[in-house]
Amino acid sequence: MSNAIVFGSYVPGNSPLHRLDPRAKLFLCITYVILVFFANGLATCLWLILALLATIIASQVSFKMYWRGIRPLAWIILLTVAFQVLFSTGGPVYWQWGFISVTRDGLLNSLIIFFRFMVIITASTVLTATTTTLRIADALTWFMQPLKVIKVPVNQITLMISIALRFIPTIMNEAVKIANAQRSRGMNLDEGNIVKRLMRMIPILIPLFVDSFKRAEELATAMEARGYDPEAPRTHYRQLDWHGRDTVSMVALLVVAVVLFGLRIFI
Amino acid sequence: MDGINLKNISYTYPGSKAPVLANLNLQVPRNKWTTIIGHNGSGKSTIARLIDGLLVPDEGEITVNGMTVTEENLAKLHRQLGIVFQNPDNQFVGATVADDIAFGLENHQVPREQMQPLIDDALKKVGMSDLAAAEPTMLSGGQKQRVAIAGILALHPQTIILDEATSMLDPEGRKMVLDLLASLRQTEELTIVSITHDPVEMSMADKLVVVDHQGIAEEGTVDQVLKQTDLLRKLGVGIPVGQELRDYLVNAGVEVPNRYYSINEMVEWLCQKLS
């Protein structure tokens, strides 16, 4: 159950996108998000949507899953769009009421913002739906390697991230257990206003913290007993392999970028 | 010198006044199963941590198969000696079973090419080959402890220490782990040191050591120690069922030879007596 919350966005599968190297996917996703900000007109926007549609189809993950990624953010999107429509000015005015007005620029801006929100969320859902959190962490680690030069302890950070990910479900289970224990002592978690509810989190959070520190200490002892030495070099079991298909994906990204800038210049 | 030797060991935890261990001498024979029992706080777990170099004794010397336990020897020591701790969750480092077993190999800088066969082999030994890709949340406590044992076995150690490794498991998980150890004892050359309150685990040992009052209160074979039910009771250690039955019979006026009885032996004795 707790697993579903944390890794809920990952949809197991064996599509070309699932098999892509996580570094490639992470790079594709970030670059795509940057490209979104260069889209300025109908043609460029449509071109980027087309590219995204192609990856969604390649991911073999149902559209329903992507909708699930957008849904929790729907209110924020709608609110931002409404603000843009009502409060930004410029161009011909279509409707006015006090300081609230609907103008042509406002409508255009809100459309662009709506577009950006939708594609950025969908693009990152493509990444998380086809890549496990662990693989994304692996990719991040790889991108952090150059930081070693400026004495950033990349390997320790990597281990920290992977242990943190590993312990999220364990600690979630613990939180549920503590909440149940407090409930059995007569605490009502879902009553009262928001302040009261937040106050009630305290008797859950404090034991959780104490328990986590105890866990950390035991884990540190166990790691030491298994020969872990933060200073010593280590070998790595988990490997990332760059395949031909990963290079192909990079070429595809280049094509998308080149066409995008072409459309910007010539249309 | 073979086996594990503790000579004149004293240890006081920082911040506490009385030493937990004082002038303790203990020999753990090689390739044998030695079980340490004693009430909570008697210093059983401290002994395990001292042997593994996780704690440094105030006085005395510890050798493991001839190697003195010192700061410089720690890496070598941790390669030939593994500990399974009490809480199955708090020693599971990897994101999956295979990753967790690899953790020890990575620490000891085993080259990547050699890892896979070592991991497969270790998983086979603990009967978990099917679960190599499983995440810890999908495993039971007994399975997690078996993964911990596999993580140690992958390094081909000479010694395994079990620090109350079965105490947080349900009866099924406990049996699973003990059965595994019993079979490993047959197939591998292993020195096993187990710290436990569990009567079944006690009776599996070759040598039983009772820790009390900062030192060793009693040591000997399982038969020699477990027949002293008064001592066991005083220490608050669980008494094996067979032995407890013998005590009841003696109290009821039945004449039973003064020796240790496992459940099966007791059943046999009773059957003989009744036939």
pLDDT classification of A218: cutoffs 50, 70, 90: very high
In a domain, A130, yes or no: yes
DSSP H or E segment with residue B160:
strand B159-163
Asked if A103 and A40 sit in the same domain, the reply is: yes
- The Cβ of residue B255 has, within 10 Å, a number of other Cβ atoms equal to 8
In a domain, A52, yes or no: yes
Asked if A134 and A81 sit in the same domain, the reply is: yes
Could you tell me the CA-to-CA distances from B204 to B44, B46, B194 in Å, in that order?
A: 18, 22, 10
Mean pLDDT (chain A) is 87
pLDDT at residue A106, as a whole number? 85
pLDDT at residue B161, as a whole number? 94
Give me the number of domains chain B comprises.
1
What domain range is A95 assigned to? 13-144+246-266
pLDDT at residue A5, as a whole number? 39
Q: Is B97 on the interface with A (CB under 8 A)?
A: no
Residue of B nearest to A212 (CA): B90
What domain range is B157 assigned to? 4-221
B102 closest CB neighbour out of A134, A229, A237: A237
Asked if A118 and A169 sit in the same domain, the reply is: no
CA B2 to chain centre: 18
Asked if A182 and A164 sit in the same domain, the reply is: yes
DSSP H or E segment with residue B112:
helix B112-125
Encode pLDDT of B109-151 as tens digits: 999 999 999 999 999 989 899 999 888 888 999 999 999 999 9
In a domain, B252, yes or no: no
In a domain, B260, yes or no: no
Residue of B nearest to A224 (CA): B54
Residue in this structure with the two tokens 């503790």, named with its chain if needed: B6
Could you tell me the CA-to-CA distances from B195 to A215, A254, B37, B272 in Å, in that order?
A: 21, 62, 6, 35
- Environment class of residue B54 by beta-carbon count within 10 Å: exposed (0-12), middle (13-18) or buried (19+)? middle
Asked if A132 and A250 sit in the same domain, the reply is: yes
Asked if A200 and A87 sit in the same domain, the reply is: no
In a domain, B167, yes or no: yes
Determine the residue among A10, A138, A235 to mutate to test chain B binding: the one whose Cβ has the most chain B Cβ atoms within 10 Å.
A235
Asked if A20 and A106 sit in the same domain, the reply is: yes
As a whole number, mean pLDDT of residues B87-110 equals 92
Asked if A163 and A63 sit in the same domain, the reply is: no
In a domain, A104, yes or no: yes
In a domain, B246, yes or no: no
Q: Is A6's pLDDT higher than 50?
A: no
pLDDT classification of B159: cutoffs 50, 70, 90: very high
Encode pLDDT of A9-58 as tens digits: 788 888 989 999 999 999 999 999 999 999 888 899 999 999 999 999 99
The phi and psi torsions of B177 (rounded to 5 degrees) equal -70, -40
Cα gap B102→B184, rounded to integer Å: 20
Q: Is A7's pLDDT higher than 60?
A: no
Asked if A75 and A109 sit in the same domain, the reply is: yes
Residues in chain B: 275
In a domain, B129, yes or no: yes
The CATH number that applies at residue B208 is 3.40.50.300
In a domain, A87, yes or no: yes
Q: Is A107's pLDDT higher than 80?
A: yes
Encode pLDDT of A133-162 as tens digits: 888 888 988 899 899 899 888 888 888 888
Beta bridge partners of A97: A100
CA B246 to chain centre: 27
Could you tell me the CA-to-CA distances from B215 to B6, B202, B208 in Å, in that order?
A: 11, 19, 14
How many alpha carbons lie under 13 Å from residue B39 in its C-beta half-sphere?
Answer: 10
pLDDT at residue B110, as a whole number? 92
Residue in this structure with the two tokens 């477990």, named with its chain if needed: B226
Q: Is B83 on the interface with A (CB under 8 A)?
A: yes
Give me the number of domains chain A comprises.
2
Task: Reduce the DSSP state of residue A65 to 3 states and report it.
Answer: helix
Classify the C-alpha dihedral A15-A16-A21-A27 as positive or negative.
negative
Q: How far is B211 from chain A (nearest CA, A)?
A: 23
B205 φψ region: left (φ > 0), alpha (ψ -120 to 50), beta (else): beta
Q: Is B78 on the interface with A (CB under 8 A)?
A: yes
Cα gap B217→B38, rounded to integer Å: 9
pLDDT classification of A61: cutoffs 50, 70, 90: confident
Q: Is B56's pLDDT higher than 80?
A: yes
In a domain, B215, yes or no: yes
Beta bridge partners of A246: none
Query: What DSSP assignment string belongs to B183-252?
Result: HHHHHS--EEEEE---HHHHHT-SEEEEEETTEEEEEE-HHHHHT-HHHHHHHT----HHHHHHHHHHHT
pTM of model > 0.90 = no
Cα gap A27→A33, rounded to integer Å: 10
As a whole number, mean pLDDT of residues A109-113 equals 88
Pick from B15, B14, B34, B16: nearest CA to B6: B34
Asked if A138 and A55 sit in the same domain, the reply is: yes
In a domain, B250, yes or no: no
Q: Cβ separation of B103 and A222 shorter than 8 Å?
A: no
Asked if A105 and A133 sit in the same domain, the reply is: yes
Encode pLDDT of B3-23 as tens digits: 899 999 999 999 888 899 999
Q: Is B248's pLDDT higher than 70?
A: yes
Cα gap A17→A56, rounded to integer Å: 9
Asked if A18 and A134 sit in the same domain, the reply is: yes
In a domain, B198, yes or no: yes
